[in-house]
Amino acid sequence: MLWSLPASSKPLPIDIPPQIQSSPTLKKWRRSLPNIRQDINNDPSFKTRIRLGYTRFPQSNTHGLSLGLEDLRIGRTPVTLSASYSYSPIVSTWGIDVQPYIFPLGGYMNVAPVIGIRSLSTSTTQTTEFNLGARLLLVPSRGGGADVTLQQTWMAIGTDREIGIGKISVGYAIAPKLRIATDLERWHGRSIGETRASLLLEWMP
């Protein structure tokens, strides 16, 4: 003889912890199901960062202060704005760049041309030129958790004043809105050769 349990027309209650019930993400999903493709296309995997910290220029044996703004998104476009300023008694530099990202902003990897202006000042050289190049962004942890940026640009490209600037930046979150970041940047040209190393605290508004 086969035995079967009586059918029930009522769904079994599920005991959901209050912490999950109050989740903003769950409330959003109750109102409407998420569109994953749209989120990948429109919601950046990285955050805007405001940065402040210590910087050192080893070749000139001097140190000072760095501050900057990274990846401020312009409206709902794939274009971001970055600005930086580093100062020491002997060496200083500032720059403003725009980065129009090529791939969907929610991905774990992206590429962007870099278009901007950069100024470098040392004990022997002072120059301000257009700055052109490219950057590669790797995001192992979305939402500002961690990312790595590799960037190569050239000032006064194609002229005898050309200066190549290579940079690697690594950032890691230590709190929901705070990160520790490091920059290592190398300048190389006929009239200049310098390295900038920075340790920064980043705030994600």
User: If you average pLDDT over residues 151-155, what whole number do you get?
Assistant: 98
Residue 124 lies in a domain: yes
Residue 80 lies in a domain: yes
Residue 33 lies in a domain: no
More confident residue, 4 or 93: 93
**pLDDT for residue 73:** 97
Q: Is the pTM of this model over 0.85?
A: no
**pLDDT for residue 191:** 85
Q: Give residue-wise pLDDT tens across range 54-79.
A: 999 999 999 999 999 999 999 999 99
Residue 2 lies in a domain: no
| CATH code, domain carrying 52 | 2.40.160
User: If you average pLDDT over residues 91-102, what whole number do you get?
Assistant: 98
Q: Which domain holds residue 110?
A: 41-203
The one-character DSSP state at 76 is: T
Structure tokens, 108: 């774990």
Above 60 in pLDDT, residue 94? Answer: yes
How many Å from the N-terminal Cα to the C-terminal Cα in the chain? 67
Residue 5 lies in a domain: no
Residue 24 lies in a domain: no
Mean pLDDT, the chain, as a whole number? Answer: 89
User: If you average pLDDT over residues 143-167, what whole number do you get?
Assistant: 95
What is the C-alpha separation between 117 and 111, in angstroms, rounded? 19
**pLDDT for residue 36:** 64
Residue 17 lies in a domain: no
More confident residue, 77 or 23: 77
64 touches 87 (CB < 8 A): yes
Determine if residue 75 is left, alpha or beta; phi over 0 gives left, psi from -120 to 50 gives alpha, anything else beta.
Answer: left
